[in-house]
Structure 1
Amino acid sequence: MERKEFLKRGLTSLGLLAALPIVSACEKTDLSTDTTTGSTSTTGSSNGSSASNCTVTNAETAGPFPIKDPASLIKTDIRGDRPGVKLTVKINIKNKNNSCAALANTIVDIWHCDAKGEYSEYGGTGMQATNWTSVHWLRGRQTTDANGLVTFTTIFPGWYSGRAPHIHVHVYNASGKSLLVTQIAFDKTICDTVYTTAADYISHGKQDTTNTSDNVFGDGFANELGTFTGSVTEGYVLTHNVVVSA
């Protein structure tokens, strides 16, 4: 089964395909560029920033390429040998049940595809032709600090047909109970800049699916948009709040 068909069938069964929003992928995002340095910044979701702005982040699919053994991948730098624009990912975990206070000692897994749209730990099938079953790059686990923060060093994700660029996030409590599986959405303008100017991405070109036309984000992505600062040359920093009920 192809990836696009996997996603289409799974979401059709949940009745989500009829609920696609009609706003543009960048409409909810502030974008500014420093013409002196070429640095670009975006303002993503403000969800979880206060007790009055505190809703549980949308749940999303973990498939089709979830981490197989995340407990073995406890590390901050998850790049492995994957080339690409440096991306620092800062995720703040907030507790809906405590007025969006920071949630310490929470386990956070992330994973995403490489610059060409491929995932480690899988392959050799119709879902992904290249066989990467013996490697584990672009996957990792961290535990939140006293401020509810985890930080990963990775690369800017590429894309694959039928999906907008994204990072998967799975949050567990300290005992290992699953609290939320979600995804971080990317601003299209930032993606267009990376995919058309950075050497490791140019051959693959721009993504074929925007946030608004993405089946997984069909239930809305307003509280899944990451905030970005940086440039292709210096790398980007992504910051994002994920709100859970704990």
Structure 2
Amino acid sequence: MERKDFLKGLGLVGIGSLAIPIINACSKDDDASETSTDTETATDTGSDSGSSGTCSVTPSETAGPFPTISPSSLVKSNIVMDRTGVGFTINITIKNTKASCAALKGAIVDIWHCDKDGYYSEYGGTGMQSVNYTSVHFLRGRQTTDDNGLVTFTSIFPGWYSGRATHIHVHIYNASGTSLLVTQIAFPEGSGSAVALVNASSSNGYTKGLSGYTYNASDNVFSDGFSNELATVTGSIAEGFVLKHTINVAS
């Protein structure tokens, strides 16, 4: 699937059961060995502030050519459906810059990301994505933030495709449904990271490794700076991985 020349925002093995999470991390220097054991733990040290400790709005990014078509019909926290791969929990906190970055309760948060093979649901059968997934809705969901501004999704660790680093798309609305921000979440990279570990886990269906992988510094969305979009990812292949990230909006 070649999408390198498409919009900058384009943007796992079947998880038979979420009780058996599987994740690896990406190595910017060297691809992790495919003999990595399930006991390896990610050493990611990304930021979960969403704004490098300052109360400023998180950068906006394109929704890409694969945004969710009818997000209001996908109100759910478990977005795995029939996809398989390493277990992945996504925790996103929304804060309001107009209230000294206090937690924003009642915000509507949509997320979507590709599967372990780099494919998106709701699209396909075209030059942008050869495999046709137009009739399914995997790895897409909507949740509303709680009193702490938090939403949580159960998913699988995203794969990657040509021209893009591993990422998650996010669209945030206020309680009335007015769009506040479209952004993307970047993943820590390097030896021992979740990206390197997961992509070395061929037994879990991540068969591409990191050969041809585009790192954040060269990614056509993140190459202009991604520190405010970099999440923290912790965990292991055996126990699954957990992403934590804060996004600041002006509401």
Whether these two folds match at TM > 0.5 is yes
User: Which of the numbers 44, 47, 53 marks the counterpart of 2:46?
Assistant: 44
Alignment of 1:94-243 (within 5 A): 94-188=95-189, 189-206=193-210, 208-243=213-248
3-state SS in 2 of match to 1:191: helix
Question: Could you report, residue by residue, the CA deviation over 1:168-218 in whole angstroms, capped at 9, with x for unpaired residues?
Answer: 000000010000000110112321111012523442221520000001112
Corresponding residue SS for 2:136: coil
| Identity between Structure 1 and Structure 2 (%) | 61
Q: Give the 3 Å change call, closer, same or farther, for CA 49–146 of structure 1 in structure 2.
A: farther
Gap runs ≥5 in structure 2: 11-26, 29-36
Deviations 1:138-190 (A, max 9, x none): 00000000110000000000000000000000000001000000011011232
TM-score (norm: length of structure 1): 0.84
Of the structure 1 ranges 57-66 and 136-145, higher mean CA displacement relative to structure 2 is found in 57-66
TM-score w.r.t. structure 2 length? 0.83
Q: Which runs of 4+ in 1 moved over 4 A?
A: none
Aligned residues: 224
CA distance in 2, matches of 1:239, 1:121: 26
Is the CA contact (8 Å cut-off) linking 1:60 and 1:181 kept in structure 2?
Answer: yes
AA matched with 2:4? K
Distance 2:203 2:171 in 1: 30
Q: Is contact 1:46-1:53 (8 Å) kept?
A: no
Where do 1:11-22 residues align within 5 Å? Answer: none
CA RMSD of aligned residues (A): 2.5
Q: Which has the higher contact order (CA 8 A, sep 6+)?
A: 2
Are the structure 2 counterparts of residues 107 and 121 from structure 1 closer, same or farther at C-alpha, using a change threshold of 3 Å? same
Q: More strand per residue: 1 or 2?
A: 1
From the two aligned structures, give the one with the greater helix fraction. Answer: 1
